[in-house]
Amino acid sequence: MTEVNTATEQAVKQPATNAKAAKAVADKAAKAPAANAAKWYVIDANNLILGRLSAFVASHLLNKHKADYIPYGLEGDKYVIVNAEKVTMTGNKMKDSINYYHTGYPGGIRGKSKGAILESSTPEKVLISSIKRMMPRGPRGRHLLKNLLVYKGDSHPHSAQQPEVINFSSYHKANQPRAGQDTTS
């Protein structure tokens, strides 16, 4: 008990020294790497359901899975999604669900089915647009969407960051092949 009292008495007697010590601690903390540094994660979208995957990634981009979540936070983890062309959808969404866009000219509304986009040269647009629509509108959503990187094919150029692999198919039974059904079609 006396040790605490002597430390308090010294702090009262020498406020200038304690201010210098506090500044030194703050400078050291600023130079040290952050404890919540952004982590990198890889998700293989092969045979995953588009909506479930999009909801998972959007929630994680917003950091809602962390204990220190704040609704206005901009820092987050980086998510790399590979095999974007192999994502699946339930029902007839491949041909019936249309992504609309406008050319900028009068009467220039156009649309493509999600199946046609997945078969085109840029299949990652389906995943990006799905996740983008689940993010908040405005500057915060646009900033957080920069933490999403989607690639077609198995490879990605971010192996130097040593990303952790997320096995998303183990999160929900709907993402696993059902017994007795052919998974090749």
Give CA–CA dist 182/185, Å, rounded. 7
Mind listing the domains of the chain with CATH numbers?
38-90+119-174 (3.90.1180.10)
Q: Which residues pair with 88 in a beta bridge?
A: 49
- pLDDT for 124-179, tens place per residue? 999 999 999 999 999 999 999 999 999 999 999 999 999 999 998 888 777 776 55
Give the global pTM: 0.74
Whether the Cβ atoms of residue 65 and residue 78 lie closer than 8 Å to each other:
no
Pick the range with the lowest mean pLDDT from 15-19, 103-107, 114-118, 152-156: 15-19
**DSSP letters along 49-71, please?**
BHHHHHHHHHHHHTTTTSTT--T
